[in-house]
Structure 1
Amino acid sequence: MTQEAATIEATTVEAARAADPARWQTPEQRAARGKAAREAAPRSSHAWFEPAAHRPDPVQVLEGQSATRVPELVPIRYGRMTESPFRFYRGAAAIMAGDLAATPSSGIRAQLCGDAHLLNFRLLASPERHLLFDINDFDETLPGPWEWDVKRLATSLVIAGRANGFTDAERAAIVLATVRSYRESMRRFAGLGNLAVWYAQADMAKVQDALEFGQLEERERRRMSKAIAKAHTRDSLQAFDKLTEVVDGRRRIQADPPLLVPIADLLPGAERDVLEGELRELLERYGRCLQSDRRALLGQFRIVDIARKVVGVGSVGTRCWIILLLGRDGEDPLFLQAKEADQSVLAPYAGGSEYATQGERVVAGQRLMQAASDIFLGWERVHGIDGRQRDFYVRQLRDWKGIAVPELMSPTGLLAFGEFCGATLARAHARSGDRIAIAAYLGRSDTFDRALATFAESYADQNERDHRALVDAVRTGRVRAEQPAAAAAA
């Protein structure tokens, strides 16, 4: 090897070590790094939250997001967010991202969900058709301080508990159990090998067995069993029955404006044909990012209809299309969802994405954090829709998905759910972050747990103030809110 080549190799190795120190250190060195981080950010310091003196107006933050969204759909977003502090919180990830950036950090990073509120943890299907409990939404995913996800999850539980009328002690117990579950799970993952962490997953059959010996009331055990059974029915066939109809002998997506509008009803003929052509091309090109076997499977289906769909709370107004495809015959459906991907709300504070497109950012983060991902998950960039360049990611519309209903949970039920969320988030972070350093930072005591119980209550207060600010903005006419009849069920 020449001197020049040796110098280049040494420089490359040093750069790799700087980018990923855990890869080059012993477990003991990684644990020491975690413990040392307590000096810069003591675990008890995470209890602190005080809004910054020059904190942006929360309504202005929302308006900034709305500026790039479909104008006629923005009032639906505001309508949903004004319904309650919990609904507001679901759409306020951008507001909280700015607040989290000013809170203490251990300096240890992991791939973040970016919007880890409790309703983004749900039942999902693995490609092997096992029902798993995992994180679902990755629109905001990006590497960042692992504490941010834990704080957003803990706060969502407090806000849900307040909505249910739980006492201060009950809410504190829920957060303490959730964060303890995260901490103890992370410590367990720290002792496992890399492959064991990668293969870890929460199979719902095992979870259900464990709950039989827990403290849940009988009615909540029955409710959970029903939710698991219902999740198995939430697939393309169920969506096919619910969302489509036969018109003039042809299967079509059924209109439910403004929440679901077939492309044939959205634009006049010439404009519709152009948009439909662009969306068909999007789907055809996106298939190239799939594994070859899945690309072959996708090729066995043909597009029969497309519609614009309003989804979620925070995502309302982003461009989202559902695409009906048919396979073997008219009763063999596949529903795909192509959802616009914009810059993560974390990016101004955690740094930009390493990926060329925002769609790939979402897909890469989802594949890294989930135990098993949708076989049709992929991305594509489009240059013609609305005359602008837009990024999309694609996934199945429904694939055995089951969502929690916190309004129906007792304190013990929400506590058990929080424990599952905490363990799931720890597993997701352990796949990308330095699990040994994080575990060492957290330690065996409940210092961090108690700090987050305090933080979550403080931030829930801030969330209520921000919710009132939006309600006042609607009342004064600063922004317009709209609540379609079907919106409450979304």
Structure 2
Amino acid sequence: MTTQKDPSNLFAGRGSLASRIQLGKEARRKVSRSQLAICKIDKRDPMSLLEASNVGRVPELIPIRFGRMLADPFSFYRGAAPLMAFDLSRLPRTDVVVQLGGDAHLANFGLFASPERRVLFGPNDFDETLPGPFDWDLRRLAASFVIAARERGFAASDQGNIVRRLCETFRQRIAEFSTMDTLDVWYYQFKSASMLAIADSAEERKKELAVIDKARLQSSRSVASHATERVNGKLRIRELPPLVYHIPLQNKREHKQYDDMIRRFFADYRLTLPDDRRALFDRYELVDVAIRVVGIGSVGTRCYEALFIADGECPLFLQLKEARASVLEGYLPVSEYPNHGQRVVNGQRLLQSASDIFLGWSKMHHTGNDFYVRQLRDMKGAFDFTTFDLADLAEYAVSCGTALAQSMAKAGDPALIGGYVGKSAAFDEAIIRFALAYAEQNEADWTVLKAAVKSGRIQATRE
């Protein structure tokens, strides 16, 4: 088997394909596939767990976090990764370890750019990445499909069938990756064209193509066209309080301290880039930094956007996102990296088929907070699953199942995973039962949040 500390151990002394598949089958002796259906959640206070995850967040932003989670069960689920990590840690899990994304719900998959400017599809959020049982990501993703389907009013049988498509796709793709040349697995990219090929109808292809075409237009230049303004003749990030704003600085001394802090941050960040990317980064001059409130689960963590200019007119927007300890670290071996930004960056590089050319990490030394850095909205695209019909959601499950299988095949041993999941529908049925049950649990927890807000225990701000 393997340890949970280092997923690269999966490849130490690799045997034949057949022997590795057999190791995966033997892992069922400890935790059978049917045991993954178990969703018996012991009595716990969901609000206490969520409140504990607020430690270290910006206090005045916490009500926005809960306000966003209050919107509907899926929004709650997006912000409740700490709660599900707690639950999964107390349920049966496999010993088949890979690099997890850590927060694999369907809204954390989407379009992104390769360095060659191809539009790819796959996981695009790695704040919680950590080595762990492969089934944790799959179970979180499956439950998210059920929750999304419930909100669309689809019957329980249809919810189960969507998860079945997800799991069938995952099993089939893992089996295919296990027989591929190792380099071919590493080079494999799930392109937007592959998504279009999955579409069952011309109408579906048309809708997907519209999202893909929109993503192609996303760049630092397009962001600058609507997110900047001229102030005293200088280009500055446009404020949109309370979501985008500048830190109020009272005097020259505060301005100098802030400027020194930011410039030291980027000097350290620069050293995490490969030499060729440093040469590119050095062409840009920093002109402005603002605070940005992002996401649902991330609200309250520190996030900035930075505007750089090259040649007097070429913009580059970078996002600086705080990297805290993964929500999984309370239940799995902690990260081996000294900076959580480095944990996120290395997890992303391992799990994505191609990553942002400006991906790196640094630390705000005056506070000790870790950060990772990437381009802001560079060819990013998201599908509006709130408008999906049943066929749309099932097709999206196929895309997500393919992307997740590719990530795990790249980061782990697909033969080992394939041996565990097997060729029959036993694994699929277990995950379906779990996902249906956990969607019920999620809705019950969302109800607890609503009651906590109504009672005044929790403050929630509607934006």
State whether TM-score is above 0.5.
Answer: yes
Q: Secondary structure at the match of 1:393?
A: strand
Equivalent-residue separation in structure 2 for 1:410 and 1:220 (angstroms)? 10
User: What residue in structure 2 maps to residue 444 of structure 1?
Assistant: 423
User: What residue in structure 2 maps to residue 478 of structure 1?
Assistant: 457
Alignment check: 8 A CA contact 1:236 1:333 kept: yes
Alignment check: 8 A CA contact 1:22 1:30 kept: no
> Alpha carbons of 1:35 and 1:396: their partners in 2 closer, same or farther (altered >3 Å)?
same
User: What residue in structure 1 maps to residue 110 of structure 2?
Assistant: 122
Shift of 1:172: 1.0
Shift of 1:477: 0.9
Verify: 1:215 aligned to 2:194, yes or no. Answer: no
Verify: 1:39 aligned to 2:23, yes or no. Answer: no
Verify: 1:26 aligned to 2:16, yes or no. Answer: yes
Paired amino acid for 2:368: Q
Paired amino acid for 2:328: L
Equivalent-residue separation in structure 1 for 2:169 and 2:12 (angstroms)? 24
Equivalent-residue separation in structure 2 for 1:220 and 1:471 (angstroms)? 36
Verify: 1:456 aligned to 2:440, yes or no. Answer: no
Equivalent-residue separation in structure 2 for 1:59 and 1:276 (angstroms)? 39
Q: Secondary structure at the match of 1:431?
A: helix
Q: Secondary structure at the match of 1:295?
A: helix
Equivalent-residue separation in structure 2 for 1:466 and 1:412 (angstroms)? 29
Alignment check: 8 A CA contact 1:254 1:262 kept: no
Q: Secondary structure at the match of 2:110?
A: strand
Paired amino acid for 1:463: N
- Deviation per CA, 1:183-235, whole angstroms, max 9, x where unpaired? 11111111112111101111112332x13xx424x443322111011001111
> Alpha carbons of 1:376 and 1:21: their partners in 2 closer, same or farther (altered >3 Å)?
closer
Shift of 1:381: 2.1
Q: Equivalent residues in 2 for 1:225-236 (5 A)?
A: 225-236=209-220
Shift of 1:17: 12
Alignment check: 8 A CA contact 1:17 1:24 kept: no
Among 351, 354, 373, the residue aligned to 1:372: 354
Equivalent-residue separation in structure 1 for 2:40 and 2:88 (angstroms)? 10
Verify: 1:73 aligned to 2:61, yes or no. Answer: yes
Verify: 1:419 aligned to 2:398, yes or no. Answer: yes
Alignment check: 8 A CA contact 1:111 1:365 kept: yes
Alignment check: 8 A CA contact 1:123 1:134 kept: yes
Equivalent-residue separation in structure 1 for 2:171 and 2:262 (angstroms)? 44
Length-normalised TM-score, structure 1 = 0.91
Q: Secondary structure at the match of 1:289?
A: coil
Equivalent-residue separation in structure 2 for 1:72 and 1:17 (angstroms)? 38
User: What residue in structure 2 maps to residue 341 of structure 1?
Assistant: 323
User: What residue in structure 1 maps to residue 86 of structure 2?
Assistant: 98
Paired amino acid for 1:147: D
Q: Equivalent residues in 2 for 1:85-234 (5 A)?
A: 85-208=73-196, 210-211=197-198, 214-216=199-201, 218-234=202-218
Verify: 1:293 aligned to 2:276, yes or no. Answer: yes
Alignment check: 8 A CA contact 2:146 2:435 kept: yes
User: What residue in structure 2 maps to residue 312 of structure 1?
Assistant: 295
Q: Secondary structure at the match of 2:174?
A: helix
Q: Secondary structure at the match of 2:331?
A: helix
Q: Equivalent residues in 2 for 1:277-292 (5 A)?
A: 277-292=260-275
Equivalent-residue separation in structure 2 for 1:122 and 1:21 (angstroms)? 29
Shift of 1:29: 2.0
Equivalent-residue separation in structure 1 for 2:273 and 2:225 (angstroms)? 27
Q: Secondary structure at the match of 1:346?
A: helix
Paired amino acid for 2:28: R
Of 238-247 and 141-150, deviating more is 238-247
Alignment check: 8 A CA contact 1:110 1:143 kept: yes
Segments of structure 2 that go 5 or more residues without pairing to the other structure are: none
Equivalent-residue separation in structure 1 for 2:272 and 2:119 (angstroms)? 25
> Alpha carbons of 1:22 and 1:166: their partners in 2 closer, same or farther (altered >3 Å)?
farther
- Deviation per CA, 1:425-457, whole angstroms, max 9, x where unpaired? 111111122211110111111111111111101
Among 357, 361, 364, the residue aligned to 2:339: 357
Q: Secondary structure at the match of 1:452?
A: helix
> Alpha carbons of 1:367 and 1:17: their partners in 2 closer, same or farther (altered >3 Å)?
closer
> Alpha carbons of 1:171 and 1:366: their partners in 2 closer, same or farther (altered >3 Å)?
same
User: What residue in structure 2 maps to residue 248 of structure 1?
Assistant: 232
Length-normalised TM-score, structure 2 = 0.96
Q: Equivalent residues in 2 for 1:379-394 (5 A)?
A: 379-384=361-366, 388-394=367-373
Equivalent-residue separation in structure 2 for 1:412 and 1:232 (angstroms)? 25
Among 193, 217, 223, the residue aligned to 1:239: 223
Equivalent-residue separation in structure 1 for 2:176 and 2:436 (angstroms)? 28
Question: When the two structures are aligned, how many residues end up with a matched partner?
Answer: 458
> Alpha carbons of 1:206 and 1:423: their partners in 2 closer, same or farther (altered >3 Å)?
closer
Alignment check: 8 A CA contact 1:131 1:203 kept: yes
Shift of 1:243: 0.8
Equivalent-residue separation in structure 2 for 1:309 and 1:344 (angstroms)? 21
Greater C-alpha radius of gyration: 1
Paired amino acid for 1:171: Q
Shift of 1:18: 11
Paired amino acid for 2:188: A
Identity level (%): 44
Equivalent-residue separation in structure 2 for 1:73 and 1:323 (angstroms)? 20
Equivalent-residue separation in structure 2 for 1:21 and 1:179 (angstroms)? 25
Segments of structure 1 that go 5 or more residues without pairing to the other structure are: 1-14, 485-490
